[in-house]
């Protein structure tokens, strides 16, 4: 019994120690909650570290790609109705170009062949082609020596489309280059009418960081973009345009989270307020710097900035704290809303498999 009591005492001691360490992670060295200034500084440093890692990755290069390659918009014919499911297109498809010079505009169907069976849709092609998309349009003899080292493995896929804009789309895929993981992508998009639309995309990097973008329309139009680690949200920006009863205008709600710091403008309010770990900072003064050239509600932050006056009288802007990370995040935010290699490559190959143009 005495031995059991000793063990229980040790467990209790270790539990209290772990709780204290966890608590100190959001407090200063003397045990008091961190100030707004300290919290913003620490959170901005963590955010910048994450963005630097992401910016140097192949996943970032992939998300930022764009190309003139034909997208799967041909599915959106005003009178066309059909469905593509994973069961109808699954298999292994590899890049296998002709061995002579050829101008190949929008002819991916001629450059791939089925080489095996799989429960997933697996597409293999040279990384030289994916990271330099314009090269798809020119096929040269040397292309036959390129290794199909870029692999897209879609474990979930469907595309139901009905009368043009109406659709239900889902893609979950992992991407690798030369057997090294690039990241995992998930896209879910639906439109039940011209006014009711929802789009959600997420890309998780091998480092554990995840970017997410969400857009919905309807009575409330919402937009959000976030960067999170395995354990916490490093940044999240949310914009809601709320339709009010009896008014043809929408009220704008804005929320910006940087770690445990939250800036918020409630619908109908004129100013931003700020919280640290849920506690309202009554002494802080917030000014929104909004340039006349700001063109929309999808931010991070476009031409908008937030200036904070702290308890000690010093001031700082969010853009100065975050630094170059703001530009990187703004670009990635746009990229997540139109993922090139999904809309212009995976969908196009899926369409051509479905139409029996690739076999």
Contacts of 212 (CB under 8 A, 6+ apart): 200, 201, 202, 224, 225, 226, 228, 336
What average pLDDT score do residues 337-356 get? Answer: 83
Please state, for a pLDDT cut of 90, what percent of the chain lies above it.
43
Q: Is residue 10 part of a domain?
A: no
In the chain, the number of structural domains is 1
Neighbours of 359 (CB within 10 A): 11
The per-residue pLDDT for range 268-308, each reduced to its tens digit, is: 777 889 999 999 999 999 988 875 554 444 556 666 788 99
pLDDT of residue 288: 85
pLDDT at 148 over 60: yes
| Cα separation, 222 vs 116, whole angstroms | 43
pLDDT of residue 32: 52
The per-residue pLDDT for range 63-99, each reduced to its tens digit, is: 988 754 544 444 444 445 678 999 999 999 999 877 6
- Reported residue count of the chain is 359
User: Binning pLDDT at 50, 70 and 90, where does residue 55 land?
Assistant: very high
pLDDT at 235 over 60: yes
Q: Is residue 171 part of a domain?
A: yes
Q: Of 24-33, 104-113, 190-199, which one has max mean pLDDT? A: 190-199
For strands 102-103 and 273-276, give the pairing: unpaired
Q: Is residue 359 part of a domain?
A: no
pLDDT of residue 144: 82
Least confident of 26-35, 313-322, 341-350: 26-35
Q: Is residue 112 part of a domain?
A: yes
Q: Is residue 32 part of a domain?
A: no
φ, ψ at 15 (rounded to 5°)? -65, -45
Q: Is residue 29 part of a domain?
A: no
pLDDT of residue 241: 84
User: Which domain does 123 fall in, by range?
Assistant: 58-354
| Cα separation, 92 vs 109, whole angstroms | 14
| Cα separation, 353 vs 359, whole angstroms | 7
Q: Is residue 35 part of a domain?
A: no
pLDDT at 6 over 70: no
pLDDT at 47 over 90: yes
What average pLDDT score do residues 139-156 get? Answer: 90
Which residue has better confidence, 3 or 328?
Answer: 328
- Indicate the pTM of the whole model: 0.83
pLDDT of residue 81: 67
Q: Is residue 159 part of a domain?
A: yes
């Amino acid at each position: 019994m005495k031995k059991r009591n000793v063990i229980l005492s040790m467990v209790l001691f270790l539990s209290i120690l772990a709780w204290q360490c966890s608590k100190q992670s959001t407090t200063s060295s003397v045990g008091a909650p961190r100030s707004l200034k300290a919290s913003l500084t620490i959170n901005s440093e963590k955010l910048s570290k994450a963005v630097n890692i992401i910016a140097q990755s192949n996943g970032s290069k992939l998300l930022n790609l764009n190309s003139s390659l034909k997208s799967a918009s041909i599915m959106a014919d005003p009178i066309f109705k059909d469905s593509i499911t994973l069961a109808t297109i699954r298999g292994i498809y590899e890049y296998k170009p002709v061995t002579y010079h050829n101008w190949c505009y929008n002819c991916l169907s001629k450059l791939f062949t089925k080489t095996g069976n799989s429960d997933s849709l697996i597409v293999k092609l040279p990384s030289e082609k994916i990271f330099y998309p314009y090269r798809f349009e020119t096929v040269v003899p040397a292309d036959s020596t390129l290794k199909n080292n870029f692999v897209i493995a879609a474990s979930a896929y469907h595309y139901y489309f009905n009368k043009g804009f109406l659709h239900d789309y889902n893609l979950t895929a992992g991407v690798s280059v030369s057997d090294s993981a690039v990241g995992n992508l998930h896209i879910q998009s639906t439109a039940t009418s011209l006014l009711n639309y929802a789009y959600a995309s997420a890309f998780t990097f091998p480092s554990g960081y995840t970017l997410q973008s969400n857009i919905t329309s309807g009575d409330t139009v919402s937009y959000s973009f976030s960067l999170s680690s395995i354990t916490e949200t490093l940044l999240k920006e949310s914009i809601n345009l709320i339709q009010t009863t009896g008014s043809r205008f929408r009220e704008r709600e804005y929320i910006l989270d940087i770690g445990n710091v939250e800036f918020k403008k409630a619908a109908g309010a004129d100013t931003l307020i700020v919280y640290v770990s849920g506690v309202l900072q009554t002494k802080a003064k917030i000014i929104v710097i909004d340039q006349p050239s700001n063109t929309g509600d999808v931010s991070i932050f476009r031409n908008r900035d937030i200036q904070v006056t702290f308890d000690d009288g010093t001031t700082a802007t969010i853009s100065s704290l975050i630094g170059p990370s703001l530009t990187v995040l703004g670009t990635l935010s746009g990229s997540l809303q139109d993922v090139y290699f999904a809309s212009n490559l995976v969908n196009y190959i899926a369409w051509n498999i479905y139409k029996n143009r690739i076999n």
